[in-house]
Amino acid sequence: MKKTALLGSTGSIGTQTLDIVRENGDIRICSLAANRNTELLEKQTREFLPELVCVFDENRAKDFRDRVRDLPVRVVSGMDGLIEAACVPSADIVVTALVGMIGIRPTVEAIRAGKDIALANKETLVTAGHLIIPLVKENGVKLLPVDSEHSAIFQCLQGNRGNRIAKIHLTASGGPFRGFTKEQLSRVTVADALKHPNWSMGQKITIDSSTMVNKGLEVMEARWLFDVSYDQIEVVVQPQSIIHSMVEFEDGAVMAQLGTPDMKLPIQYALYYPERRFLPGKRLDFSSIGQITVEKPDPEVFEALKIAYAVGKKGGNAPTVFNAANEWAVARFLKNKISYMGILEAIHTALDKVPFIDHPSLTEILSTEQTVYEVLHCQQQ
């Protein structure tokens, strides 16, 4: 019986994780954590009966405590509560599916507590990879990627006995604006950006896919997960989302992982690694696919990708600045407060104005995030 803590249980990855738990029937959910959606969280709590539930929002936590009074569950809140949910003693693996930098501290504490991590929170490695990777090694825990591309790379590396990676070909779908001109991009609306051609995901990541900020964050994640340099990671656009990523070895052989675009596969693979379980759903039908095409990302349209490489190579707190500025800007864009191109402008402004820190500590990473918000907020006044 796998014992799992699930942070971010009401989001897209969280609910799909619980689908897998339901379908397999041999995973125990020890703790759940969510931010605001207490209605769904209550249903999940009644179904999976965790011993601990964190409702991040303190006021909602009070109300939630009343609602589940009849259950043997402890309800906690805030960052301390989130850390408690991540470190719940009975769990041996933590699925970190929180959106944003809020996921970093609970992940650090879970690693320190000896838990394996099924990582679905990009910000953790993007902003704190230099701290997380040594911590993972020190504590002898597994860091299992849940993102489809990183899971693909991880799957391609199975059975590889110490052979070096020559190159990672990180695939991208190109999102809804592949082939657009800059002029067309300037007229993009929230509804346009939320229409992803292949993947069904949360709002923030869907916008990030359209700008390719998401791919930029994934490049930085791949650098840490697979210990390669930025020059060894190449982004290729694969519009049908059939190839989920590829690894090239020194002899030129390329291994790829293919499949239908279904996040349940990487989630289930991380939960049961190295076992492969039956997963219901559509299979690739090669006779009807016709063609799998690959192209270069257009640097004009996907400027964010170029910035991400520069930011990744610079290191220090630059990836944090990039990520926090994007997080701030996407939230504003979703509320129609800034334009689509305003997302890139915010990233440029923050990178210009926020002081650089080399080898930032966890505290400095978190304070950098605050500085970015302050700088952008002042700029807008």
Binding site for Mg ion (CB under 5 A): 147-149
Task: Tell whether the torsion through CA atoms of 254, 258, 261 and 265 is positive or negative.
Answer: negative
- Considering beta carbons, is residue 14 or 50 the nearer one to Mg ion? 14
By C-beta, is 31 or 148 nearer to Mg ion?
148
**Closer CB to Mg ion, residue 149 or residue 303?**
149
- Residue 139 Cβ vs Mg ion, minimum distance, rounded to whole Å: 26
Q: Taking a C-beta distance cutoff of 8 angstroms, is the pair 92, 64 a contact?
A: no
Q: How far is the CB of 296 from Mg ion (least distance, A)?
A: 19
CA dist 24 and 26 (Å) reads 6
Dihedral angle over CA of 201, 204, 208, 209, nearest 10: 10
- Alpha carbons 282 and 138: distance in angstroms, whole number: 40
Nearer to Mg ion, 29 or 228 (CB): 228
Identify residue 361 by its one-letter amino acid code: S
Within 166-272, residue ranges assigned H as helices are 182-185, 190-193, 203-211, 213-225, 264-272
Which residue, 6, 67, 72, is CA-closest to 42? 67
H and E: helices and strands count for the chain:
17, 11
Query: C-beta of 150: minimal distance to Mg ion in Å?
Result: 7
Pick the closer one to Mg ion by CB: 148 or 317: 148
Query: How many angstroms separate the CA atoms of 164 and 141, rounded?
Result: 22
Q: Least Å distance between CB 209 and Mg ion? A: 8
Work out how close the CB of 168 gets to Mg ion at its nearest, in angstroms, rounded to a whole number.
13
Q: Is the peptide bond before 89 cis (omega within 30 degrees of 0)?
A: no
Minimum distance from residue 223 beta carbon to Mg ion (Å)? 15
Q: How far is the CB of 133 from Mg ion (least distance, A)?
A: 20
- Rank residues 219 and 351 by Cβ distance to Mg ion and give the closer one: 219
Using the minimum distance from each CB to Mg ion, give the nearer residue, 198 or 232: 198
Q: What is the DSSP string of 266-289?
A: HHHHHHHTT------S----HHHH
Maximum Cα interatomic distance, the chain, rounded to a whole number of Å = 62
Q: Amino acid identity of 293? A: T
CB atoms within 10 A of CB 359: 10
Smallest gap from residue 284 Cβ to Mg ion (A): 18
CA–CA distance, 265 with 22 (Å, rounded to integer): 15
Q: Which is nearer to Mg ion, 194 or 362 (CB)?
A: 194
In this complex, which beta carbon is closest to Mg ion, that of residue 86 or of residue 219? 219
Min dist CB 285 to Mg ion, Å, is 23
For residues 291 and 197, what is the distance between their CA atoms, to the nearest angstrom? 17
Q: Please identify, using beta-carbon distances, which residue of 107 and 317 lies nearer to Mg ion.
A: 107
- How many whole angstroms separate alpha carbon 219 and alpha carbon 223? 6
Q: How far is the CB of 257 from Mg ion (least distance, A)?
A: 13
What is the total residue count of the chain?
381
Structure token digits, residue 136: 């993972």
Contact of 10 with 99, CB cutoff 8 Å: no
By beta carbon distance, the residue nearest Mg ion is 147
Structure tokens at 229: 């340099």
